[in-house]
Chain A
Amino acid sequence: MVLIRDLTIQGAQMLLVLFLAPLFTGFVRKVKARLLRREGPPLIQPYLDLVRLTRKDVVLADSASWLFRVIPYLVFAATWVAASLVPTFRTGLLFSWSADLIAIIALLGSGRFFLALAGMDVGTSFGGIGSSREVMIASLAEPAMIMIVFTLALIAGSTQLSTVAEFMASPQVGLRVSLGLALVGLVMVAIAENGRIPVDNPATHLELTMVHEAMVLEYSGRHLALIELSSSLKLILYVSLLACLFAPWGIEAAGAALPTLAVGIAAYVGKLAVGGFLLGLFETSIAKMRVFRVPEFLGAALMLGLLATLLRFVSGSF
């Protein structure tokens, strides 16, 4: 009975993030449009886009290989598995012990690895631009993320996300300096990993300013739909991660009764709304950086992560 309940909750979590992801993307676009005094597309526009894409033909370049066709499924699988393991409305998910924070980062890394290969597959220069810039950004964002994970693991005593989330929700955690530094670092890394302004512009049409869009330039039809869905999933994953680590109020502990789940889900949707609004506000108020200023930006995030870890190592109470 307990197994069936836990399995249902894990399945519900997986479906919840999958269905909320396009809505979140639509919400962020709406916020940005409203702040720019435009009407903006309807909130369900991403769903309509996905349906439209799946109904179209796939136009495949002559030089594309079998890997090009398989990669959207691989990227989607990796991102969806990672997103299912981040607690949104409840900790103690059934399979949360199979992958901890480091494994979640590595899963996202494998999604990025294959997407970069897809950029190289067709043999055009735009794909190359996207892939080479993406791996440069990743080469700094991933170490920064790992240092932040170290800080959190040293404070909470575990790298298991459920345990960390429960620790953050408990009164044992104080207002620690390392947590503050980790929060700032995580926000910077999240912006870089999801390709938002100021690192990359998700709505650009100028190919020389693209990073993520240039890698997927040759995709069309159902493949493009999967890739767009994966990007939305990745964005909602990072926002959920920030919410469960630094704003854990409302997350139900493992073993809570089913009616309280409604409270957990409501709290989660509320956090998503706040996160989406802040993201839209931030993106509207700042300009995109030159490509070679991004390493300085991410270098700063890496330094923050390193400083936070160093403080934890050197004195236990930081």
Chain B
Amino acid sequence: MSRLDFDIAHLLAGLLVLISFLELYQDRLYALLNTYALHALVLAASVAWQAFVQDAPHLYVTAAIALVFKAIVIPVSLHRIIVRLGIHRQIEKVVGVGPAMLAGIGLVALSMVVMLRVTHGADPLAREDLAFALSVVLLGLLMMVTRQNAVGQVVGFMSLENGLVLAATGAKGMPLVVEISVAFSVLIAFIVIGIFLFRIRERFDTVDLQALDSFRGERR
């Protein structure tokens, strides 16, 4: 494919990594949700571009699903949940911004090295897209690990899933049925998490993990 197609795909994938870093930096809930919406939007754009370049019309559907569900429905619903539960709107972090960013850079370097070594003979666009996708997955995991707030962890899980979708589209083709099942599983997971959040909030008046820890069975 031409140089420009390559570059735009690259740029969108890199933008996704950048937005993952931006999510790591946020410490207010609404800003985090808006950043996540942006993340899903860029994912939709990236998948749509892949559909255009690879001439695979079913990927347009994936892009539409990403756009509608992940960029609009989920952030709006989470927003409503936060308002209704009255959740504390500042996200406490386990590690500070500086070490988290440094760890993020280390993870990106690691995924670069791993992916470029492992996929030695493959198509260059796919290789580097996979490297970026692994970075997004690892950054999503990092976000889950360094957040005290349950909503923050949910967003981390979501962005991890976005990374997986990027990897799947980059690897040339994902049948629609798989995507529908993935979307439904995400929806169900989201509903379950939402229900749990409601119950937790009802019982304990907080969703802060450190406060919840004191209610666990084993005492230290």
Interface residues of A (CB under 8 A from B): 174-177, 180-181, 184, 295-296, 299-300, 303-304, 306-307, 310-311, 314-315, 317-318
Q: How far is the CA of A181 from the CA of B20 in the complex (A)?
A: 13
| B45 CB to nearest A CB, Å | 14
23 contacts between A and B (CB under 8 A): A174-B3, A175-B4, A176-B11, A177-B10, A177-B13, A177-B15, A180-B14, A180-B15, A296-B25, A296-B97, A299-B97, A303-B105, A304-B18, A307-B105, A307-B108, A311-B14, A314-B112, A314-B116, A315-B112, A315-B128, A315-B131, A317-B128, A318-B128
4 nearest interchain CB pairs? A177-B14, A174-B7, A175-B7, A303-B101
Total number of B residues with any Cβ neighbor in A under 8 Å? 27
- A181's nearest neighbour on chain B, judged by CB, is B18
- Select A300's contact among B7, B10, B101, beta carbons within 8 Å: B101
| A184 CB to nearest B CB, Å | 7
Chain B positions within 8 Å of A318 at CB level: 10, 14, 128
Interface residues of B (CB under 8 A from A): 3-4, 6-8, 10-11, 13-15, 18, 21, 25, 97-98, 101-102, 104-105, 108-109, 112-113, 116, 124, 128, 131
| A189 CB to nearest B CB, Å | 16
Chain B positions within 8 Å of A295 at CB level: 98
Q: Told that A300-B25, A314-B113, A317-B124 touch, could you supply 16 new A-B pairs with CB distance under 8 A?
A: A174-B4, A174-B7, A175-B11, A180-B15, A180-B18, A184-B18, A296-B98, A300-B21, A303-B21, A304-B18, A304-B21, A307-B105, A310-B109, A314-B116, A315-B131, A318-B128
Chain A positions within 8 Å of B98 at CB level: 295-296, 299
Q: How far is the CA of A311 from the CA of B112 in the complex (A)?
A: 8
Q: How far is the CA of A181 from the CA of B18 in the complex (A)?
A: 8
Q: How far is the CA of A296 from the CA of B108 in the complex (A)?
A: 20
Q: How far is the CA of A189 from the CA of B198 in the complex (A)?
A: 43
Chain A positions within 8 Å of B108 at CB level: 307, 310
Chain A positions within 8 Å of B13 at CB level: 177
Chain A positions within 8 Å of B124 at CB level: 317
Q: Name the residue in A180, A184, A295 with the highest tally of chain B Cβ atoms < 10 Å from its Cβ.
A: A180
| B30 CB to nearest A CB, Å | 16
Q: How far is the CA of A174 from the CA of B128 in the complex (A)?
A: 16
Q: How far is the CA of A181 from the CA of B105 in the complex (A)?
A: 13
- A176's nearest neighbour on chain B, judged by CB, is B7
- B96's nearest neighbour on chain A, judged by CB, is A296
Whether A175 pairs with B18 at a CB distance below 8 angstroms is no
Chain B positions within 8 Å of A300 at CB level: 21, 25, 97, 101
Chain A positions within 8 Å of B4 at CB level: 174-175
Q: How far is the CA of A160 from the CA of B68 in the complex (A)?
A: 47
| B113 CB to nearest A CB, Å | 7
Chain A positions within 8 Å of B11 at CB level: 175-177, 180
| A27 CB to nearest B CB, Å | 30
Chain A positions within 8 Å of B10 at CB level: 175-177, 318
Q: How far is the CA of A174 from the CA of B3 in the complex (A)?
A: 7
Whether B105 pairs with A310 at a CB distance below 8 angstroms is yes
Q: How far is the CA of A220 from the CA of B109 in the complex (A)?
A: 51
